[in-house]
Amino acid sequence: MDKVGIIALGRYLPDRVLTNADLEKLVETSDEWIISRTGIKERRVAADGELTSHMAIAAAQDALKGSSVKAEDIEAIFVATVTPDSAFPSVACLVQKAIGAKKAFAYDISAACSGFLFAMITARQFIAGGMVKNALVIAADRFTSIIDWKDRNTCVLFGDGAGAAVLARVKKGGILSDYMIADGEGAPLMGVVPDKIRTPFDQSLDTARLPWITMNGQELFKNAVPGMAEAVRIAAEKAGISVADISCVVPHQANERIIASVAKRAGVDKEKFFINIHKYGNISAASAAVALSEAVEQGRIKKGDIVALVVFGAGLVAAANIIEWSY
């Protein structure tokens, strides 16, 4: 039976750039600290009024430009995001309307920085199971809207953007294996906490602070490295390949030091890891999607190559898959 594969990719990054020098004016930090501790030089920030759905739609349209499946024939839309425009309607439904995918069902998936792969694995199952012939998978986050811009521990790390992929059955290559895992024990390590919860019994809550990110960076670092390395190892084993067969690894881009440690622990040459964190910082779910799109465009991934995607995020959640590239 034909495998399921990626047949087109797209991305969207907002124009507005926030450099390390800009951040030096906001908090007590330095370009040197940010680059040496994270690898990040700059990140993108959505325009005022530019919401996650706008970025998701732009990335979807970019992917559809290069896709043999047109918008009107898309049968499922999954949007991975933790920063939807609002709790509902879903971003996926806004995308469905905007691109004119009248035949598609659509819903959002919440898996923080692992969202792109969680959504892709979901899409693969729907296609392999025969319920749909194709799916549009989008990862989009406007993380800058949930940052405490006075907290130097977090505000230097994140940016905004979106990536998209069209999945369908492919004659050659395709997704060879996937793996995903959750560990709720690590849930306290990162989250978005509301200051107070609204209730009809306390009228003072109108002045409550907007929700913002809390993060235990060091503990996340310690969990991310073995979590991602193990995910690559398991996905490779499930695909029946050795990690030495992998020609390109596209990891979640949270910290260049995490990526270097994962490479070492997984036994894969760091040169095989595609890294673009210096340009965009951590774009949450969109990180791996944007990186994959750039890696293919830059010729780092070619037809027949064995590619590993690997992600890790708040939850804790991790995932990896192995793909034999089909175009």
For ligand ACO, the binding residues (CB under 6 A) are 29, 33-34, 37-38, 112-113, 152-153, 156, 190, 215, 217-218, 220-221, 224, 254-255, 282, 284, 313-314
- Of residues 252, 255, 276, 321, which has the active-site annotation? 252
Percentages helix, strand, coil for the chain (3-state, rounded to 5) are 40, 25, 35
Nearest distance from residue 254's CB to ligand ACO, in Å? 3
Nearest distance from residue 141's CB to ligand ACO, in Å? 9
Q: Which is nearer to ligand ACO, 156 or 323 (CB)?
A: 156
DSSP string, 11-73: EE--S-EEEHHHHHTTSS--HHHHHHHH---EEE-PPTT--HHHHHHHHHHHHHHT-SS-GGG
| Tokens 């907002």 -> residue | 14
Nearest distance from residue 27's CB to ligand ACO, in Å? 7
119's tokens: 């959504």
- Of residues 93, 113, 155, 248, which has the active-site annotation? 113
The DSSP 8-state label assigned to residue 234 in this structure reads H
Nearest distance from residue 97's CB to ligand ACO, in Å? 28
Cα separation, 16 vs 229, whole angstroms: 34
Nearest to 28 by CA among 151, 117, 115: 151
Distances (CA, A) of 183 to 58, 189, 215, 314, 319: 33, 11, 16, 9, 12
- Tell me whether residue 282 is one of the annotated catalytic residues: yes
- Tell me whether residue 248 is one of the annotated catalytic residues: no
Q: Which is nearer to ligand ACO, 53 or 282 (CB)?
A: 282
Q: Which is nearer to ligand ACO, 19 or 218 (CB)?
A: 218
- Tell me whether residue 252 is one of the annotated catalytic residues: yes
Q: Which is nearer to ligand ACO, 40 or 167 (CB)?
A: 40
Catalytic positions, written as ranges? 113, 252, 282
